[in-house]
A and B are shown apart, each in its own frame.
Chain A
């Protein structure tokens, strides 16, 4: 796991340097400053960009380990503070969406399996098909239009109160719900086909216990693995939703930094996202091992 995170630091540092625009020139361009050799050199000196690349990397890594991501090029403020405060908003939005995804697709998915072929099952299958074919941001706009503008139930934009978070979180979640309903439905049906379910029935075990203890527990590992990936996707998707709903998250900050080639901000952000990805996957593996004893044998690296 530490090796993976170290890999993330390498990628976040060196990948940025591949962008074919000199950050210092970008800085001058954005601020409309006169470009002179001396001025450029001065900035390079100030930001340490004239040092050898490996030396820069080492310096950045040392600081990053202590959660110091350096100073923003653009605003001259510490990146860590800015990123973390904005990131907490993004994280909150993603987390809310995450729970909406689990709750809604869990309920509908399980229901459609238990009452298989019933009204709910057929209705959701049609609905899943329909929603899966619509882009989520478009559906988001429709939601905004109907719920906020037409009915006036929920506030249109902003961030801070629970009412304000409902619409964006729901919009963000919407894209994943059909996928998870389908995942839960098909993997449960697959699990039910397994011989040990027939054996449980032959022993007279109640159907509700079979569903809970055997089928649902059986699909958890696949679900955890998938959810870990989705966590990352939700964080990325949150950036778009933030733009739509004017939420002061990390999304807009990032786009501005990108234009300015603000290395410090970009590196810090990629590092955080990458590290989170690694942590989510690690957690998923850990949960899988708790559920499935056979997975414990295969695990060696931590």
Chain B
């Protein structure tokens, strides 16, 4: 359904260019959840933005992103706009900053619905209320509230409801639990899993927290410094990690170690070629 083919992402500044994602390959199969784990700055968010084709004006891409058989890189801004929020939805990290502080919650729904179909404000509000109710949110109270009046956890759940309101084919969640406390994190993950089980929506979940990925994903990609070091079915990657970075990652999780420190101190190599060491399992060759 979604296929990332040898994708590299370059951020362009005035007179230089920086590669933030390097030759990444993986697929998101229909109805499955793919998780990407990596330290902050490993290019995970860049990958999400690349799929959404946000910030196009100062990015350069090589490789390709194939969605339903067509290249997203080749699509015009107009065509992309029709996909965004309707077929491919994005849940972003830090919900407190993602809602416009001077626009009511209900109006965020209304404008999203009105961007993709001809619908009156009245009907859009009704749909918004139904959608909030579907996610066990108190719809009468929320529609006329402003974002600053609500907690981060509440806003994140609203964001999920908002991302799901057009019944997308692919839901991308970029660090969906990062800014939240532990209890709320679990609630949000349960919410996402529940939504997935009900609708069979394909998902791409990105996190620096291996626990989050382990709980959610059917397939796991491990990233470090813009490079995918290992990709395969979740149970296999978690039980039999092939790459030494993945092994270090799993060991660090068991000891509650710090991922950022690990990413800095780990001294192995990620430049080897990616090879399929058994069907569906890919790893970078080491030394």
Task: Enumerate chain A interface residues (CB-CB to B < 8 A).
Answer: 194-196, 198-207, 209, 213-214, 217-218, 291-294
A217 touches B102 (CB 8 A): yes
B101 touches A206 (CB 8 A): no
Q: Which of B143-171 contact A (CB under 8 A)?
A: 146, 148, 162-163
How many chain B residues sit at the interface, stated as a range, is 20 to 34
B99 touches A204 (CB 8 A): no
How many CB-defined contacts (below 8 Å) exist between A and B?
Answer: 76
Closest-CB distance, A175 to chain B (whole angstroms): 31
Closest-CB distance, B72 to chain A (whole angstroms): 14
Q: With an 8 A cutoff between CB atoms, is B85 at the interface? A: yes
B84 touches A201 (CB 8 A): yes
B111 touches A196 (CB 8 A): no
A213 touches B111 (CB 8 A): yes
B92 touches A199 (CB 8 A): yes
A204 touches B102 (CB 8 A): no
CA of A202 to CA of B89 in the docked complex: distance in angstroms? 7
B84, B98, B146, B148: the one contacting A204 at CB < 8 Å is B84
Q: Chain A contacts of B1 at CB under 8 A?
A: none
Q: Chain A contacts of B86 at CB under 8 A?
A: 204
Q: Chain A contacts of B102 at CB under 8 A?
A: 217-218, 291-294
CA of A294 to CA of B84 in the docked complex: distance in angstroms? 30
Closest-CB distance, A190 to chain B (whole angstroms): 14
A-B contact pairs, 15 of them (CB 8 A): A195-B92, A195-B97, A198-B92, A199-B92, A200-B111, A201-B84, A203-B112, A203-B115, A206-B115, A209-B115, A213-B103, A217-B103, A293-B102, A293-B148, A294-B102
CA of A106 to CA of B218 in the docked complex: distance in angstroms? 52
A204 touches B101 (CB 8 A): no
Most chain A beta carbons < 10 A, residue from B92, B111, B112: B111
Q: Chain A contacts of B116 at CB under 8 A?
A: 204
Q: A209-B111, A293-B102, A294-B148 are in contact. Are A204 and B81 (CB under 8 A)?
A: yes
Closest-CB distance, A116 to chain B (whole angstroms): 9
Give me 11 other A-B pairs in contact (C-beta within 8 A), A201-B81, A293-B101 excluded: A195-B94, A198-B92, A200-B111, A203-B84, A203-B112, A204-B112, A205-B85, A206-B115, A292-B102, A293-B102, A294-B146
